[in-house]
Amino acid sequence: MSLERSAQKEYFESEYKRYRKQAEAARQNGKASTAATYYEQCADALKELAELETTDTLAQERRNLASNLTKAAKKLSRDGSLRSADDETENPGMTDSQTGTHSGRSPDAGNEESETDADMYLEAPPEMGFGDVGGMTELKQTLRDQVIDPLERPELYEEYELGIVNGLLLHGPPGTGKTYVTEALAGELSYNYVNVQASEVTSSLVGEAAENMAELFRVARDNQPCLLFFDEIEAIASERSGGSQKTMSESQMITQFLTEMSEMKGEDVVIVGATNLPDDIDGAAWRRFDERIEVPPPDATARAAILRVHLRERPVLTDSIDWTEIKDQTEGYSASDLELIASKAARKALQQARDSDDIVPISQSHLETAIAETASSLDAWDDT
């Protein structure tokens, strides 16, 4: 079966977009080393695309973009500073015209355009569900029991004086799938989806964070049914014991958040917060969430399931893979690490396919090589 050049380009463009989104999310979350890894993957995908271009001009543009991203990755790895990569990623992060796509919000959110319209965060119901989430069996069942079923059968729960869950807090180490399972929950519910980095609420409207908070809740309320997701929730609901050290803007923002959470009762809106730092969350904010669920790193069974999900749309010799060995080799890896491993293994198989001009399925050796080349992000987290 011959591999068409267009199919190869489509694959690498998809990989670039995937890694770019993850890199920018990592930067926003302050995870410099993780962002650096994803920027390096972006650069690798662009180099592959350059080899597939039919014009020297476009090929060179891709190489230049790859060079900028490699510089950004090196600075992030060396300095551990997000600001140090700004100059390198400013242009490639805005339009990505060379890839034929727009990557969304800049990692340096804060420009005037992003300050004026909370509706920019609103998305249609995601085209995914729990079937797209590998592992997390217990968590998914908890979400079905505590969130989905009460929303689908409110009369039954009212009979037992059990209300609908409007607030859900997911906490655990980074990369364990909190964001991914939240998007899947919105898809399961067929709810509109508002996804915002909580840090953007504080940074994008200096002095107006409370108004920005109110606007986000307004968007969710006006687009019911809706799931409103705050990643890194500790950025807006941190412990107030040191209140004298907080600015008036920060205090107003926390108060507005607590007010909005209380007033959302009875609305067809689910608010989900995610955090890596549950101990940093203010007690009053913690109590506003009806359910608080820990999301641990995936166990052996979950790790295999996650890899299977990320491999299922790709050519793979599933029956020939020693999953017991793969489970052992991926001990200590997060869900995001496993997604990266699947992509690396696919790229290695594709490189062989390009040489032979025939499909080369992903095999045990591809996976093992990808695992060996991927450091666990949880190891770095444990060291912090």
CATH architecture of 299-384: Orthogonal Bundle (1.10)
Return the pLDDT at 350.
92
Buried b (16+ CB within 10 A) or exposed e, 224-255: ebbbbbbbbbbbbbbbbeeeeeeeeebebbbe
Fold of the domain built from segment(s) 114-294: Rossmann fold (3.40.50)
The whole-model pTM stands at 0.66
Domains 114-294 and 299-384 share a fold: no
What is the residue-level pLDDT of the chain in tens, covering all 384 positions? Answer: 344 666 677 778 888 888 888 888 777 767 777 888 888 889 888 988 888 887 777 888 888 888 888 888 888 877 765 443 334 444 333 333 334 433 333 333 333 343 335 677 889 999 999 998 988 899 999 999 999 999 999 899 888 888 788 899 999 998 888 999 999 999 999 999 999 887 777 755 445 788 889 989 999 999 999 999 999 898 888 876 554 456 677 788 888 999 999 998 889 999 999 999 998 898 999 999 999 999 999 999 999 999 999 998 899 988 889 999 999 999 999 998 999 999 999 999 999 998 888 889 999 999 999 999 999 988 766 655
CB-based contacts of 61, cutoff 8 Å, min separation 6: 98
Contact between residue 338 and residue 22 where contact means Cβ atoms under 8 Å apart = no
Ranges of each domain in the chain: 1-108, 114-294, 299-384
Residue 253's H or E segment, with its range, is: helix 248-263
- At 114 the pLDDT is 38
For residues 216, 205, 195, 138, the Cα torsion angle rounded to the nearest 10 degrees is -100
Residue 271 CA to residue 7 CA, distance in Å, equals 40
Give the integer Cα–Cα distance in Å for 173 and 167.
20
